[in-house]
């Protein structure tokens, strides 16, 4: 309403102004090339305004004619760009749908329509890779490396191609180049780190982990876990050849993860070998309170060099109460009791679990029956049950079991793959490191070893010696 009123007022003002100009007396004389015109002032102003409008219209027409070729070219380029983007989108959809041939055709069309856009060429390389045309894909990727916008994507494509062709060294070369361009690249870092882990280059691996940023709590925890596992791997590698260095690595791992059982076992063994029994026992007690891991209890029992079976049983009972709180503790206590010929205690420890025995429980019961009563028939019966019984927890990774904790899975090469749990298959692998614990200096004290026949799935290197 206000706009309408303002428009009416403006119209009235303009009308009044025009009427006033038309009524102003006087003439304007124009003398051009012998032509003389003397119109009224209002008429002259009207003709002047008409002339200005005509000039503007003519100039606009001339400008349009001059700009028409450029405008047509821009419109054509815009149409090509729109069609190119549409072809690129359709190519991406076709590639995701598994139609690599159509994706490559559309990518080539998009590449012609978008000559300055590297995305169509990258998509065409992906399509060539999906079609198995490795040489064509490699040429595209190598051309894209020179462009900063597509260098990382091209290196990733070359890396995946090399892996598909089982060219491990070439794949690692591309991953290292990617790290040089973008140190925080996840896929490149994982590839290089995985290679270091598989080769056992622990010093370089831990340095790489140390350089990785960790912002959130979960990222910091994952980083500390990796560091602890690598330090434990370094300790395990040098436990025999350089015990002091191994002890430093194990203690570093325990600072990162105070209850990390593999590191605690290595550190306790080294303390015991050096005659530092109290330190070993203190460390094992602390880790036992946090984990109640059976290997910790077994090593605790034999931490004193030359200890008799009765002494080992006494130490075991310092950690494990009667009746034991779980099956693994019961097996450790029964193992020590059988070694010490304390048959009632062994039977009391195993009693709650003989209704549904595992392989370890059944084997211990067979040994108990034979040692206490000499009943070979019952012993054979328990051994037959052990064959069909469920398995006990042990170090397991990727469907296989190992006699001891390993830092890397022998199947996938994944770091920190082994877990102490019940295996889901019966496949087992021998210990990769066959170094016996007995390969110590002659003057080094040995930790007492339990008697043979144990049913516990405990690693030889982590048993008490």
Q: Give 35-96 as a DSSP string.
A: EEE--BHHHHHHHHHHHHHHHHHHHHHHHHHHHHHHHHHHHHHHHHHHHHHHHHHHHHHHHH
Domain ends where: 52, 75, 98? Answer: 75
* pLDDT value at residue 288: 95
Residue 41 lies in a domain: yes
Distance CA(10)–CA(13), nearest Å, equals 5
The number of domains in the chain is 2
Nearest 10 degrees: Cα torsion 197, 201, 207, 212: -20
Residue 349 lies in a domain: yes
| CB distance 353 to 338 below 8 Å | no
Residue 223 lies in a domain: no
Residue 125 lies in a domain: no
Domain ends where: 47, 75, 103? Answer: 75
Structural domain span for residue 453:
301-465
Domain ends where: 75, 109, 135? Answer: 75
* pLDDT value at residue 425: 55
Beta bridge partners of 27: 40
* pLDDT value at residue 309: 92
Is beta strand 400-402 parallel, antiparallel or unpaired with respect to 428-429?
A: parallel
* pLDDT value at residue 106: 92
Residue 18 lies in a domain: yes
Instruction: Give pLDDT < 70 ranges for the chain.
Output: 21-22, 24, 28, 425-465
Residue 239 lies in a domain: no
Q: Residue 178 in 3-state DSSP?
A: helix
Distance CA(294)–CA(167), nearest Å, equals 43
Distance CA(251)–CA(276), nearest Å, equals 15
Q: Which helix (H) or strand (E) holds 401?
A: strand 400-402
Residue 339 lies in a domain: yes
| CATH number (domain holding residue 373) | 1.25.40
Residue 427 lies in a domain: yes
- HSE (side-chain half, CA atoms, 13 Å) at 422: 10
């Amino acid at each position: 309403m206000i706009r309408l009123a303002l428009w009416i007022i403006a119209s009235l003002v303009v009308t009044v102004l025009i009427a006033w100009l038309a009524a102003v007396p006087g003439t304007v004389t124009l003398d051009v090339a012998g032509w003389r015109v003397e119109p009224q002032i209002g008429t002259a102003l009207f003709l002047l305004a008409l002339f200005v409008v005509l000039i503007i219209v003519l100039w606009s027409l001339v400008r349009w004619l001059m700009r028409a070729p450029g405008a047509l070219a821009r419109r054509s380029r815009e149409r090509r760009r729109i069609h190119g983007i549409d072809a690129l989108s359709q190519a991406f959809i076709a590639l995701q749908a598994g139609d690599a041939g159509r994706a490559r055709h559309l990518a080539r069309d998009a590449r012609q329509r978008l000559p300055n856009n590297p995305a169509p060429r990258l998509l065409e390389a992906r399509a060539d890779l999906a079609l198995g045309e490795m040489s064509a894909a490699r040429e595209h990727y190598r051309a894209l490396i020179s462009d900063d916008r597509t260098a990382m994507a091209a290196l990733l494509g070359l890396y995946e191609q090399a892996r598909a062709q089982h060219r491990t060294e070439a794949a690692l070369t591309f991953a290292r180049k990617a790290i040089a361009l973008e140190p925080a690249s996840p896929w490149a870092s994982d590839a290089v780190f995985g290679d270091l882990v598989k080769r056992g280059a622990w010093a370089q691996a831990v340095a790489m982990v140390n350089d990785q940023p960790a912002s959130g709590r979960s990222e910091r925890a994952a980083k500390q876990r990796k560091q602890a596992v690598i330090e434990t791997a370094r300790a395990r590698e040098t436990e025999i050849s350089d015990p002091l260095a191994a002890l430093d690595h194990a203690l570093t791992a325990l600072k990162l993860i105070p209850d990390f059982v593999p590191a605690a076992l290595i550190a306790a063994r080294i303390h015991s070998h050096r005659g530092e029994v109290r330190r070993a026992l203190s460390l094992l007690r602390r880790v036992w309170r946090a984990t109640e891991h059976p290997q910790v209890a077994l090593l605790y029992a034999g931490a004193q060099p030359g200890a008799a079976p009765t002494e080992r049983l006494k130490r075991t009972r310092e950690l494990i109460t009667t009746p034991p709180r779980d099956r693994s503790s019961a097996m450790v206590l029964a193992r020590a009791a059988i070694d010490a010929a304390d048959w009632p205690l062994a039977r009391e420890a195993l009693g709650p679990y003989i209704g549904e025995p595992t392989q370890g429980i059944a084997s211990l019961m067979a040994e108990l029956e034979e040692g206490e009563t000499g009943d070979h028939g019952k012993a054979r019966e328990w051994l037959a049950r052990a064959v069909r019984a469920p398995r006990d927890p042990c170090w397991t990774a990727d469907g296989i079991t190992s006699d001891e904790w390993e830092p890397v899975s022998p199947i996938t090469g994944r770091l920190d793959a082994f877990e102490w749990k019940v295996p889901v298959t019966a496949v087992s692998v021998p210990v990769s490191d066959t170094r016996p614990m007995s390969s110590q200096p002659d003057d080094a004290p040995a930790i007492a070893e339990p008697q043979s026949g144990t049913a516990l799935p405990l690693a030889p290197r982590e048993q008490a010696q």
